[in-house]
Amino acid sequence: MTEAGSGGARRGRPVAFWFVVVVGVMSLFADMTYEGARSVNGQFLGSLGASALIVSTVAGLGELASYGLRFLSGRWVDRRHAYWPIAIFGYVVNLLAVPALALAGHWLVATALMLLERTGKGIRNPPRDAMLSHAAHEIGPGWAFGLHEALDETGAALGPLLVAFVLWRRGGYHLAFAILLVPALVSLALLLVARRLNPHPRELEPASHDIAVRGFGTRYWIFAGAGALIAAGFADFSLMAYHLAKHHILAEASIPLLYALANGINAVSSLGLGRAFDSWGPHVLSVAILLPLASAPLVFFGAAPVVLAGIALWSLGVTVQQSLFKAMLTNLISAQRRATGFGTSTAYGVWPRSAEVSCSDTSTT
């Protein structure tokens, strides 16, 4: 390595690290916003007169929009290299749709805003993940995505707790949504800080000399297919929550706290597994993915103490899918096709939603 190249590397690593940190904190406040809202979306729609069928349909369509748009967003990013315009547009739509729910007085307005929030999330995820993957070249993909996921899931735990506190103080759903404007604005401000810190994300990863091809390699499709099958057999939390409430295994009021606990476990495990991935490689992934297989039997057939163990393993499974899968994909996709690859592979997220919709359809209001 030349002296100039060594100097560039020394400059690139701190920028990459702080970029991951800023994006992670930004995601923390973003998750506070929309995960806080999602913890009460169903109840809110019900309070506006929506039926169980409407609630389940909105949930399913929202996730379909979120994951379906990622493919289109990823392709556009790779073709135009428009990381920041697409990411900023997606975040603005995703985050501002949540506090706008405070103004919704009819379930039709609320459902439109909920679908808009999911649409924004689908648009902004591929450019964000691609930018993180370029930064990961300097600090390691496991650590980059693990650190980001830890901060992200911290927000996913704090958001529902904030909403629960507002409701506990009898503030009502509309006030809870209005208060979520604060973390939304903080997240958008940090987004602009991240752009200023790293205006040209591709510069953190040297250009590949490989010949660009239209499609992805065989290893990519095998991995993406395996991810889809794993997701298809992975129980959604809403299905587990429905089971726990229906059979009176846990008090209904404690189930949101269980979700916050699961996100907290995910935050902690993301850091450890991310470091392990960079040290030991894909072998960590092959071992870590086996442990969550026991989560469903423990949750669906166990008593309360066993359920807690099952939820802990379920959280580990979420960590594997949300951080280690992305770290592995970074090694399988060239920098030129990274956003498209992330957008295509995350189609596995559509699979578990059939369980969520079926669960909701069987409930009564």
The pLDDT tens digits of the residues spanning 9-52 come to 455 688 999 999 999 999 999 999 998 888 788 778 888 888 87
In a domain, 11, yes or no: yes
Query: Which residue would you say has higher pLDDT here, 321 or 31?
Result: 31
**Where on the phi/psi map is residue 43: left (φ > 0), alpha (ψ -120 to 50), or beta?**
alpha
Residues in the chain: 365
Q: Which residues contact 119 (CB under 8 A, 6 or more apart)?
A: 65, 66, 69, 93, 94
pLDDT for the residue numbered 215: 57
Domain count, the chain: 1
Q: Please determine, for residue 275, whether its predicted confidence score (pLDDT) is greater than 50.
A: yes
pLDDT for the residue numbered 362: 37
In a domain, 301, yes or no: yes
pLDDT for the residue numbered 5: 43
pLDDT for the residue numbered 11: 54
In a domain, 211, yes or no: no
Could you give the count of Cα atoms lying within 13 Å of 363 in the half-sphere of its Cβ? 26
> What pLDDT digit, counting tens, does each position of 175-208 carry?
999 999 999 999 999 999 999 999 998 888 776 5
Query: Mean pLDDT, to the nearest integer, of 252-276?
Result: 81
Q: How confident is the model at residue 358 (pLDDT cuts 50, 70, 90)?
A: very low
In a domain, 313, yes or no: yes
In a domain, 210, yes or no: no
Q: What residue numbers bound the domain in which 313 lies?
A: 3-205+216-361
CATH number of the domain within which 280 lies: 1.20.1250.20
Q: How confident is the model at residue 296 (pLDDT cuts 50, 70, 90)?
A: confident
Candidate ranges 55-59, 127-131, 135-139; pick with highest mean pLDDT? 127-131
230 closest CA partner among 339, 61, 346: 346
> CB of 184 within 8 A of CB of 16?
no
